[in-house]
Amino acid sequence: MVHAKRQLSDRQFRSLAELIEDQVGIKMPNAKRLMLEGRLHKRVRALNYSGVSEYVDNLFDKAVLDDELTHLIDVVTTNKTDFFREPQHFDFLKTVAVPELLKLPNRKSNDLKVWSAACSTGMEAYTTAMVLDDMVRAGARFQFRILGTDISTAVLRVATAAIYNREVTAPVPPQFVERYFLTSRDRSREEVRVVPELRRLTNFTRMNLMDSSYPVDRDVDVIFCRNVLIYFDRETQRKVVEQLCSHLRPGGYLLVGHSESMIHSALPKLRQVQPTVFKL
């Protein structure tokens, strides 16, 4: 009896790791091997393969790879996110960044542009939308648009639909839950949806941070690039940060995740104003 190979050979793991690093930038050291094999099982079952080994053997066939890459990316990316994650950034946005950005002498209008690069399921973008809309309601005079980009199509579908399980709204202040989420008339459905007023101001599109150029405006006020640089090696981090900065207006801000403050050394033209807040 022939037993299907359940695990990857060293050679298969190395080729897969190289493919992932090359396409997505995510480092795949040997320590992540078990995790990767585990995550691939869903695709193995969906495609009726006997095991991960057969999956990888077939993957490098060009016709298969063209179709499978999107799924592979969905599988290897870690999409953890939350509403009001690292809340000090949203306080900073409200109390420091926005008032200051609106006073910049080089501004032609009061239209603020915010970009959530690596937005996952959109919670970072919608949190920003809630905070900015709240400022406008309180009398601040500006309009805003928010762009969310990510490499994973699966998370972008969720972000665009803006439908979430009610329990993920736990970190959202109660008055914001009331104001910015719709609940289903069917109370047994534990789902909420971001109100259309905020959805209209928020666009999501697929973009790979590894690309050599980004199809994004060059006068963005604030870029969130949080909890993604950590997966890249130092040189890739430097390149990504440099490219992101070329889309910031002078005086604009780049916000990174709490474990990513090391990007400080990546770009001399960025001034660190707080451990995870950088100004161009």
Ligand X SMILES: C[S@@+](CC[C@H](N)C(=O)[O-])C[C@H]1O[C@@H](n2cnc3c(N)ncnc32)[C@H](O)[C@@H]1O
Cβ(205)–Cβ(214) below 8 Å? no
150 is catalytic: yes
Among 12, 53, 227, 237, binds ligand X (CB under 6 A): 227
Q: Which 8-state DSSP code applies to residue 94? A: I
**Residue 25 is a binding residue for ligand X (CB under 6 A):** yes
**Residue 276 is a binding residue for ligand X (CB under 6 A):** no
Q: Which residues pair with 112 in a beta bridge?
A: 144
Close Cβ partners of 130 (under 8 Å, ≥ 6 residues apart): 172, 176, 179, 180, 198
Rounded Cα gap, residues 135 and 247, in angstroms: 24
CB of 225 to ligand X, least distance (A): 7
State how far the alpha carbon of 156 is from the alpha carbons of 60, 85, 124, 205, in Å.
26, 18, 13, 7
39 is catalytic: yes
The binding site for S-adenosyl-L-methionine consists of: 79, 81, 85, 124, 150, 208-209, 226-227
**Residue 148 is a binding residue for ligand X (CB under 6 A):** no
**Residue 146 is a binding residue for ligand X (CB under 6 A):** no
Residues binding ligand X: number (CB under 6 A): 24
The binding site consists of: 79, 81, 85, 124, 150, 208-209, 226-227
**Residue 154 is a binding residue for ligand X (CB under 6 A):** no
180 token code pair = 């910015």
State how far the alpha carbon of 106 is from the alpha carbons of 169, 219, 271, in Å.
37, 10, 19
**Residue 260 is a binding residue for ligand X (CB under 6 A):** no
31 token code pair = 């320590």
Give residues 5-24 in contact with ligand X (rule: CB under 6 A).
24
Residue 150: CB atoms within 10 A of its CB come to: 27
User: How many residues make up the chain in this entry?
Assistant: 280
**Residue 247 is a binding residue for ligand X (CB under 6 A):** no
Which is catalytic among the residues 39, 107, 166, 193? 39
- What is the x/- site pattern for ligand X, positions 185-214, by CB under 6 A? -----------------------xxx----
CB of 143 to ligand X, least distance (A): 24
Q: Which 8-state DSSP code applies to residue 97? A: I
Rounded Cα gap, residues 147 and 117, in angstroms: 8
Which is catalytic among the residues 133, 150, 199, 221? 150
Cα-Cα-Cα-Cα torsion 191, 194, 200, 202, nearest 10 degrees, comes to -100
Closer CB to ligand X, 10 or 235, in the complex: 235
Give residues 70-89 in contact with ligand X (rule: CB under 6 A).
77-81, 85
- What is the x/- site pattern for ligand X, positions 119-138, by CB under 6 A? xx---x--------------
Contacting residues toward ligand X, per CB under 6 A: 24-26, 77-81, 85, 118-120, 124, 150-152, 155, 208-210, 226-228, 257
